[in-house]
Amino acid sequence: MSTQHAAGRYAPSPSGDLHVGNLRTALLAWLFARTTGRRFLIRMEDLDRAVAGADARQLADLASLGMDWETPVVYQTQRRDIYGRIIDRLRKGGRTFECYCTRREILEAPSAPHAPQGAYPGTCRNLTDAERAEKIATGRPPAIRILADTTEFTVTDLLHGTFTGMVDDFVIQRNDGTPAYNLAVVVDDAAQGVDQVVRGDDLLSSAPRQAYLATLLGETTPTYAHVPMVLNTDGVRLSKRDGAVTLADLAADGVPATTVLSHIARSLDLADPGETVDLPTLASRFDPDALPREPWLLGPTEWSS
């Protein structure tokens, strides 16, 4: 782990504007970090897709709610060489294998005996030289998978308690050469001194894989807090189809950022209806044990209430 003192972080993908659910998670990450004396970092997870200008808009939205963070903001696309060195280190240590499977082949392959549902079936794990040569002859470039020596791993979450989840031979580099999320996030957290990971509870199932990889790399597993998401009234995560869900959309409808912050705070039981709040006030009231455990159902009438 880096010698830098402890940190929390928010790590959006700059693929578009942040919606209210993203902003709520960012606020919680800020509150968890700031109320425990940690630095707060922003990392742009832009390996997959980035929309020009989205990163700047995201940072502006976070600032408009009162959040501050340590600089510089880290971009994963600037760290490809670092990921490559870690992947090479794992390869040389015999901890990886090349996988030539398509998604369809994985879905249609019979599961290995006693393997958890959804686990990689191990198709390319122990290829013979002849089988590997046949795969290579197809011209399909391989992904690189971790060679896992366990099928599950246990993490401790501040909101969910002890959670044991599946670990399989997950991808650490895609077949187009892009480092996979599960590798990049672990490498970045370790390099930045992040020992507190606050994010949406839709990512809880990925924590065991990431914690397992951290131990393989000799790093300390962070403290996790997987927080409830914001859903529409149909119980589905927010999207543009739900109408005004970004700060820009809401501002166009006459809803200022201060009102959005107050409604988010109310959804966390940190403010009374109609109360105007700021981040120092929220930090003074923040108690992780008292946070709601259920998702916030956001309806179209929220902003008129």
Hey, which residues are catalytic here? 240
For 59, phi and psi rounded to 5 degrees? -65, -40
CA distances from 192 to 5, 8, 186, 195 (A): 9, 9, 10, 9
Residue of 206, 302, 264 lying closest to 30 (CA atoms): 264
Judge whether 240 is annotated as a binding position.
yes
Judge whether 91 is annotated as a binding position.
no
Judge whether 256 is annotated as a binding position.
no
For 79, phi and psi rounded to 5 degrees? -120, 20
Judge whether 92 is annotated as a binding position.
no
Distance CA 262, CA 260 (A): 5
- Count CA atoms closer than 13 A to 219's CA, side-chain side: 25
Judge whether 79 is annotated as a binding position.
no
Residue type, 87: I
Judge whether 224 is annotated as a binding position.
no
Judge whether 33 is annotated as a binding position.
no
Distance CA 243, CA 11 (A): 24
Judge whether 38 is annotated as a binding position.
no
Judge whether 45 is annotated as a binding position.
yes
Helical spans, DSSP H, in 1-153: 20-34, 54-64, 80-92, 103-108, 129-137
Residues in binding site for ATP? 240
Residues in binding site for L-glutamate? 9-13, 45, 181, 199
Residues in binding site? 9-13, 45, 99, 101, 120, 124, 181, 199, 240
Residues in binding site for Zn(2+)? 99, 101, 120, 124
